[in-house]
Structure 1
Amino acid sequence: MSVPASPKNISRRDFLRSSGLTGAALCLGFYFPASAEAPKIINQAEAEQFGIEMNSWIYIDTSGKVTLVSHRAEMGQGVYQSIPQIIAEELEVNLNDVNIIFAKGNKEKYGNQITGGSSTIRGSYKHLLNLSATAREMLIAAAAAKWDVPASECHAEAGTVIHKSSGRKLHYGELVVDASKLPAPKNVTLKKTSEYKLIRKPLHRQDTALKTNGTAVFGLDKKIPGMLYAMVERNPRFLGKVKSFDDTDTRKIPGVTHVFKVRMGVHNTFREGVAVVANSTWAALQGKKALKVEWDDSGFEHVSTEDLYSRMKTILNTQEGLSFRKKGDPTPIIEQAQKKIDVVYETPYQSHSCLEPLNCVAHYQGDQIEIWGPIQAPDWIQDYVSKDLGLPKEKVIVNMTFLGGGFGRKAFMDYPHEAAVISKEIKGPVQVVWTREDDMTQGPYRPGICYRCEGVVTNGEIDAFKVRFAGQNIGHWQGAPKDKPNGSTTEGFLKAYYDNIQNISFADVPFETPIPPLWWRSVYASTNGFAYESFMDELAIAAGKDPLVFRKQYAKEERCQQLINKLEEVSGWKNRKKGYGVAITECFGTTVGQVVKISRQADGKIKIDQVWAVIDCGWYVNPDTIKAQVEGSIVMALGAATIHEITFDNGMVVQKNFYAYNMPRISDVPPVEVHIMENSADAAGVGEPGLPPFAPALTNAIYDLTGKRIRKLPFSMAAI
Structure 2
Amino acid sequence: MQNPPNKFSRRNFIRMSGLTGASLTVGFFMPAAAKGIPELFTAGDAIEQGVELSAWVSIDKNGLVTIMSHRAEMGQGAYQAIPQIVAEELEVELDKVKVAFAPGHQTKWGSQITGGSSTVRGGFKNMLRAGAAARQMLVIAAAAKWNTAFDECYAEKGFVIHRPTGRKFGYGELVENAAKLKPQTGVKLKERKDYKIIGKPLPRLDTPAKLNGTAVFGIDHRLPGLVYAVVERCPTFHGKIKSVDDKAARASAGVKDVIRVQMPVFAGTREGVAVIADNVWNALKARKLLKVEWDETGIDPVDTEQLYDRMRKDLAKPGLTQRQLGDSERVIGKAEKKVEVVYETPYESHSAMEPLNCTAHYTDEKIEVWGPIQGPDWIQTDLADRFKIPADKVIVNMTFLGGGFGRKAFTDYTTEAVTISKAIKAPVQVVWTREDDMTQGPFRPGAVYGCQASIANGRVNAMQIKMAAQNMDHQWAPIPDKGEYNRSTTEGFPEAYFDMIPHYRFADIPTEAAIPVMWWRSVYSSTNAFAFESFWDELAIAAGKDPLEFRKMHIPGDKERYHALLNKLDEVSGWSKRGKNEGWGLAIAECFASIVGEVVKVSKNPSGGVKIDKVYTVMDCGWYVNPDIIRQQVEGSIIMGLGAAAVHATNFKAGRAVETNFHQYRMPRISDTPEIEVHIMENEEKPGGVGEPSLPPFAPALCNAIFDLTGTRVRKLPFDLKKLG
Matched with 2:334 is 336
By how many angstroms is 1:500 displaced? Answer: 1.4
By how many angstroms is 1:483 displaced? Answer: 1.1
Matched with 1:492 is 492
Percent of pairs with identical residues: 56
Q: Does structure 1 residue 398 correspond to structure 2 residue 402?
A: no
Matched with 1:221 is 220
CA–CA distance in 1 between the matches of 2:393 and 2:529? 43
For structure 1, list consecutive stretches of 5 or more residues without a partner in the other structure: none
CA–CA distance in 2 between the matches of 1:535 and 1:14? 54
Matched with 2:250 is 251
By how many angstroms is 1:359 displaced? Answer: 0.3
Matched with 1:562 is 564
Matching of residues 295-694 of structure 1 within 5 Å: 295-317=294-316, 319-479=317-477, 481-556=481-556, 557-577=559-579, 578-694=582-698
TM-score normalised over the length of structure 2: 0.96
By how many angstroms is 1:58 displaced? Answer: 1.0
Assess if the C-alpha contact under 8 Å between 2:21 and 2:176 holds in 1: no
Matched with 1:50 is 49
Matched with 1:164 is 163
Query: Could you report, residue by residue, the CA deviation over 1:283-335 in whole angstroms, capped at 9, with x for unpaired residues?
Result: 10011111000000001211110000001001102x11011000111100122
Q: Secondary structure at the match of 2:288?
A: helix
Assess if the C-alpha contact under 8 Å between 1:241 and 1:295 holds in 2: yes
Q: Secondary structure at the match of 2:66?
A: strand
Q: Secondary structure at the match of 2:144?
A: helix
TM-score normalised over the length of structure 1: 0.97
The one-letter code of the counterpart of 1:345 is Y
By how many angstroms is 1:484 displaced? Answer: 1.2
Matched with 1:174 is 173
Q: Secondary structure at the match of 1:462?
A: strand
CA–CA distance in 2 between the matches of 1:403 and 1:23? 34
Matched with 2:206 is 207
Matched with 2:702 is 698
Assess if the C-alpha contact under 8 Å between 1:494 and 1:555 holds in 2: no
By how many angstroms is 1:62 displaced? Answer: 0.6
CA–CA distance in 1 between the matches of 2:307 and 2:424? 41
By how many angstroms is 1:414 displaced? Answer: 0.6
The one-letter code of the counterpart of 1:340 is K
Query: Compared with structure 1, are the counterparts of its residues 563 and 372 closer, same or farther at alpha carbon in structure 2 (3 Å cutoff)?
Result: same
Query: Could you report, residue by residue, the CA deviation over 1:536-560 in whole angstroms, capped at 9, with x for unpaired residues?
Result: 1111111100000001111231100
Assess if the C-alpha contact under 8 Å between 2:603 and 2:610 holds in 1: yes
CA RMSD of aligned residues (A): 1.6
Assess if the C-alpha contact under 8 Å between 1:56 and 1:71 holds in 2: no
CA–CA distance in 2 between the matches of 1:659 and 1:342? 37
Q: Secondary structure at the match of 2:517?
A: coil
Q: Secondary structure at the match of 1:645?
A: coil
Query: Could you report, residue by residue, the CA deviation over 1:599-648 in whole angstroms, capped at 9, with x for unpaired residues?
Result: 11333321101100000000000000000000000000000000100000
Q: Secondary structure at the match of 1:206?
A: coil
Query: Could you report, residue by residue, the CA deviation over 1:653-691 in whole angstroms, capped at 9, with x for unpaired residues?
Result: 110100000000000000000000001111110000010
By how many angstroms is 1:361 displaced? Answer: 0.1
Query: Could you report, residue by residue, the CA deviation over 1:380-403 in whole angstroms, capped at 9, with x for unpaired residues?
Result: 111111111121111111100000
CA–CA distance in 1 between the matches of 2:423 and 2:18? 31
Query: Compared with structure 1, are the counterparts of its residues 567 and 56 closer, same or farther at alpha carbon in structure 2 (3 Å cutoff)?
Result: farther
Matching of residues 101-140 of structure 1 within 5 Å: 101-140=100-139
CA–CA distance in 2 between the matches of 1:134 and 1:537? 51
Query: Could you report, residue by residue, the CA deviation over 1:119-150 in whole angstroms, capped at 9, with x for unpaired residues?
Result: 01111111101110110000000000111111
Aligned length: 712
Query: Compared with structure 1, are the counterparts of its residues 535 and 179 closer, same or farther at alpha carbon in structure 2 (3 Å cutoff)?
Result: same
The one-letter code of the counterpart of 1:126 is K
By how many angstroms is 1:268 displaced? Answer: 1.2
For structure 2, list consecutive stretches of 5 or more residues without a partner in the other structure: 1-5
The one-letter code of the counterpart of 2:652 is F
Q: Secondary structure at the match of 1:508?
A: strand
Assess if the C-alpha contact under 8 Å between 1:250 and 1:290 holds in 2: yes
CA–CA distance in 2 between the matches of 1:20 and 1:258? 45
CA–CA distance in 2 between the matches of 1:261 and 1:719? 47
Matched with 2:239 is 240
